[in-house]
Amino acid sequence: MTSYIMAIDQGTTSTRAILFDKASNIVGVAQKELENYYPYPGWVEQNANDIWASTIGVMFEVLAKTGVKDTQIAAIGITNQRETTVVWDKESGQPIYFAIVWQSRQSDTYCQKLKKEGLEEMIREKTGLLLDPYFSASKIRWILDHVEGAQERAEKGELLFGTMDTWLLWKLTKGAKHISDVSNASRTMLMNLKTLQYDDELLRLWNIPRCMLPEIRDSSEVYGVTSGVFDHPVPIAALIGDQQAALFGQTCFDAGNVKNTYGTGCFLLMNTKERPIHSAHGLVSCVGWRIKGETDYVLEGSVFVAGAAIQWLRDGLKILHSSTESEQRALQVADSDGVYVVPSFTGLGAPYWKPQVKGGMFGLTRGTTQEHIIRATLESLAYQTNDVLQAMKQDSGLDIAQMQVDGGASRNDYLLQFQSDITDTCIVRSTISETTALGAAYLSGLAMGFWKSKEEIRSQFQVSRRFTPQMDAQQRAACLHGWNKAIHAILDF
């Protein structure tokens, strides 16, 4: 009987279950949208029980759609939105508060306090991360402070913490397994990047009891089997954060391999193999994955607004009917006519980390049209990506021969050609766009012998299209000069 790998891709906006066959083909997909709650400005929360219900729902839906039986699932791999934090009662399995989403800023006061105490550099040295509410530690602290009796109960061992990988594994195994993998643990701000274990000094600093934390394990191994889900117990054999999963799904297995995901924002990751790099240029270091005790580290840079800028053209300015129309409209003009858009609607991410700055539009004339603004907005995604890519080159000292891309905006040929031109780098778009789920499937399959090696996996990678630089050096320099002027203008403003 043919067997398949099921990937659970638990994201910020939806949960999906995807079945892959041995040739890396997608056999079936089921998806359920999730509701986000915004109780106060800057707060973002989700109902962890809804996430669990959506996971069970899509698992059964994809089997019903495809006619695949539970006995045909060789293993399940889980990839997840990172940093999102849930604390639950060990006995009842009920969360004591909503899950606090990675985007939420409600715990920023804790981070500001530690910055004032001069602890930012120590935290960065131990974890590779910037002191920011983005990461899980301050979110745990917030829940323990704001739910009555939570700190005392946590110290008694009555409460458990998890990111979404841990929460789903615990639920799928009926509470038998409380585990996270190194990639997710490295985003909590509680794990030491050198020892790959929770750090006593950091636990004391945040006053978080060790007993509520999940055990840290490899990203590819059998953690346990499903209980009370299917008639037949299915091994759960991969846990990995979503951006690291996409890097693995893109087969970026060597030092200097880079992928960029064009989503709401952009997430660039570079594999630095066994070498964690402490960035001098606004990037963060974390774990990519660990397989059979062998760790690959990554450098990561986040662009806050990418695809969201195209949505702004559609929903805010209303000069697009659909996001897909942006390419055709941009090609109606020969160039952006000196117009630059800096879409820092929620501040600037890497390599600047200026969360307070606003967006800007520069170089307007009486002859500026909607098409010039659309084209300049598309180009802003490439410019922001280039800023991160250059920081990666400086931090790593590694040459970047090509960048592999995925995400919604990677379907835009004009954007990818301009990206290639402005970075002077080959851009590779893969045939399979679901690289996040594919990465989780690969790691799960490796643990089960479904795929024998990374070399076998790499042999299955299919290129949809390569984009190579067409722009001459003089024009590239002029474009980048204009972009840098625009960046400095919004920083001054």
Residue 318, Cβ density class (10 Å: 0-12 exposed, 13-18 middle, ≥19 buried): exposed
End-to-end CA distance of the chain: 64
Ligand-binding annotation for 408, yes or no, is yes
The maximal CA–CA distance of the chain, rounded, in angstroms, is: 69
Helices (H), ranges, 181-337 = 182-185, 200-206, 242-249, 307-311, 325-330
153 is in an annotated binding site: no
The values of phi and psi at residue 170, to 5°, are -60, -45
CA distance 27 to 74: 14
Instruction: Provide the residue type at 243 as one letter.
Output: Q
Flag whether 262 is marked binding: no
Is 14 annotated among the ligand-binding residues?
yes
Question: Is residue 263 a known part of a binding site?
Answer: no
Annotated binding residue 377: no
Ligand-binding site membership of 369 (annotated): no
C-alpha to C-alpha distance for 463 and 477, rounded to whole angstroms: 30
Residue 273 forms beta bridges with which residues?
297
Is 13 annotated to bind a ligand? Reply is yes
Annotated binding residue 264: yes
Q: Is residue 155 marked as binding?
A: no
- 3 state SS of 175: coil
Is 134 annotated to bind a ligand? Reply is: yes
Whether residue 16 is annotated as binding a ligand: the answer is yes
Q: Please return the burial class of 91, using the count of CB atoms within 10 Å of its CB with bins 0-12, 13-18 and 19+.
A: exposed
Phi, psi of 54 (to 5 degrees): -65, -35
Distance CA 444, CA 221 (A): 7
Is 307 annotated as a binding-site member? yes
| Amino acid at the residue 78 | I
Which residues are annotated binding-site positions for glycerol? 82-83, 134, 242-243
Which residues are annotated binding-site positions? 12-14, 16, 82-83, 134, 242-243, 264, 307, 311, 408, 412
Which residues are annotated binding-site positions for ADP? 12, 16, 264, 307, 408, 412
Which residues are annotated binding-site positions for ATP? 12-14, 264, 307, 311, 408
Which residues are annotated binding-site positions for sn-glycerol 3-phosphate? 12, 82-83, 134, 242
